[in-house]
Amino acid sequence: MEIRRARGRDFLPIAALDRESWRENRNGEFIPDGEHVWRIWVDHALVYCAVDGGRIVGAVLAFPCLGGIFNMHKAFVADTHRGRGVGSQLFKAILEEIDRLGVDVFLTVDPVNAAALRLYESWGFERSERVQGYYRENEDRYVMVRKAKAS
């Protein structure tokens, strides 16, 4: 298993894995991010991927926002590779890069996803606020922030 920065040609398999992973979301009927934005993110944001046997089996994405903070927008692992620590390796890689940059990072999470809340808290994220109707009227989110770590 190799964890590395995504390369230009990785955007199509990452987008395909994103679509596949998104179906399991509580609101999986809505459209995930498409190939066009993954192409931009691979070239201009922080995208790390997990590669096993030449196949991308996981990815994590963070991109800069106004005000100097980053947004950790996506993290997913193929069904075949869950429970093997792949997600943890991806988080470690991207958070090390974010720490090297010395910036805060935020993410949003479904308030009913207790497992994700515990996971993000274990990586140093703290609940900042609960936003009612973040995406749609019935889709609340916690905003969680991880302060910059000294390198």
Span 28-44, pLDDT tens digits: 566 667 788 989 999 99
CA–CA separation, 53 and 63 (whole Å): 28
Decide if pLDDT at 94 tops 80.
yes
The CATH number for 2-146, chosen from 3.90.280.10, 3.40.630.30, 2.40.10.220, 3.40.50.620, is 3.40.630.30
Cβ-Cβ contacts under 8 Å for 6 (sequence gap 6 or more): 14, 42, 47, 48, 49, 59
The pTM of the full predicted model, rounded to 2 decimals, is 0.88
Domain edges within the chain: 2-146
Give the torsion through C-alpha atoms of 146, 101, 75, 41, to 10 deg. Answer: 140
Angle between the N-to-C axes of helices 11-22 and 35-44, in degrees from 0 to 180, rounded to the nearest 10: 120
